[in-house]
């Protein structure tokens, strides 16, 4: 109880600090999503960024030297997922590892037929369970400035960190109310199966086909799409959009096109 109270006081004190002018310029230059936020949401996001940067360690990999531009650009996108929600600042995360670009990781996969494959794999990001988030800086920077292509490696990997907060990576994060779980499971389960069928048949989809891998990847892909292609997602998958809007307590489709019908 005392430790939790002390942490909350420290975070509240951080949020009250003046947001550095050079960090603000980074947000305005690098993070296109920031421009869509209301003044109130911008102030809230700045507070989250101050806490995130103070609490998380950033480590450069492959010879990369970490700069404030990297810290703020990554933190801003990660903290967009925290807006309006009563939640901690990614409690299971201590370190963000950043490579200059695409990196190679050794992977081990068990396929549906039981066959296990191992080998090197080029990656843009990954989230280790109860461990660090790993990101490729060039992809982070590109995604931050283009918010309409349906891709955002920070949104994707930090959605995984939200997913693990209840102890399991299964596409069901810790929802704010028990009453939400039934509808969440029904809607996301149905949409996941729909994506699997569409991917198997080669049908075009709003959601990235990578979401057909499993429910955890589906939630991460759906999160990317919710924030970067909100209008097509709301039009073609209205129930999925509604579940994500209730969880994230945001309406990016309305922000993208205030005249569009709800």
Q: pLDDT digits over 10-25, tens only?
A: 888 888 899 999 999 9
Count how many domains the chain has: 1
Domain annotation covers residue 207:
yes
Question: What confidence tens digit (pLDDT) does each residue in 83-108 have?
Answer: 999 888 999 899 999 999 999 887 76
- What mean pLDDT is predicted for residues 41-50? 97
Going 62 to 64 to 65 to 70, the CA torsion angle's sign is negative
pLDDT above 90 (res 40): yes
Say how many C-beta atoms besides its own lie within 10 A of residue 243's C-beta: 22
Domain annotation covers residue 111:
no
Q: Report which of 192, 233, 230, 232 is spatially closest to residue 209, judged by C-alpha positions.
A: 192
Question: What confidence tens digit (pLDDT) does each residue in 157-176 have?
Answer: 999 999 999 888 999 999 98
Write the CATH number for 238.
Answer: 3.40.390.10
Beta bridge partners of 109: 117
What's the pTM value of the predicted model, to 2 decimals? Answer: 0.91
Say how many C-beta atoms besides its own lie within 10 A of residue 6's C-beta: 10
- What was the pLDDT predicted at 111? 56
Mean pLDDT of the chain: 91
Domain annotation covers residue 208:
yes
Q: Report which of 159, 181, 195, 19 is spatially closest to residue 82, judged by C-alpha positions.
A: 159
Domain annotation covers residue 193:
yes
Range of the domain at 202: 171-262
**1 pLDDT band (50/70/90 cuts)?**
very low
Distance CA 147, CA 33 (A): 7
Domain annotation covers residue 223:
yes
Is 233 within 8 Å of 186 (Cβ atoms)? no
């Amino acid at each position: 109880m005392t430790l939790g109270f002390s942490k909350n006081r420290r975070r509240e004190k951080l949020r009250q600090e003046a947001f550095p002018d050079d960090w603000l310029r980074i947000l305005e230059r690098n993070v296109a999503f920031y421009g869509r936020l209301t003044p109130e949401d911008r102030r809230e996001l700045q507070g989250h960024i101050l806490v995130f940067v103070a609490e998380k360690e950033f480590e450069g990999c492959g010879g990369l030297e970490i700069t404030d531009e990297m810290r703020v650009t990554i933190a801003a996108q990660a903290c967009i997922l925290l807006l309006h929600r009563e939640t901690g600042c990614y409690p299971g995360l201590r370190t963000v590892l950043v490579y200059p670009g695409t990196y190679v990781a050794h992977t081990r996969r068990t396929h549906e037929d039981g066959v296990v494959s191992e080998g090197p794999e080029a990656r843009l990001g990954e989230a280790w369970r109860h461990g660090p988030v790993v990101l490729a800086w060039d992809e982070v920077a590109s995604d931050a400035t283009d918010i309409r292509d349906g891709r955002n490696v920070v949104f994707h990997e930090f959605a995984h960190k939200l997913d693990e907060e209840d102890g399991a990576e299964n596409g069901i994060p810790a929802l704010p109310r028990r009453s939400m779980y039934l509808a969440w499971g029904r809607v996301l389960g149905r949409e996941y199966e729909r994506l699997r069928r569409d991917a198997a048949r080669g049908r075009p989809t709003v959601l990235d086909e990578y979401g057909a891998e499993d429910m955890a990847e589906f939630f991460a892909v759906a999160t990317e799409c919710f924030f970067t292609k909100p209008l097509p997602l709301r039009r073609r998958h209205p129930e999925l959009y509604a579940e994500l809007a209730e969880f994230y307590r945001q309406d990016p489709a309305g922000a993208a096109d205030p005249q569009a019908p709800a």
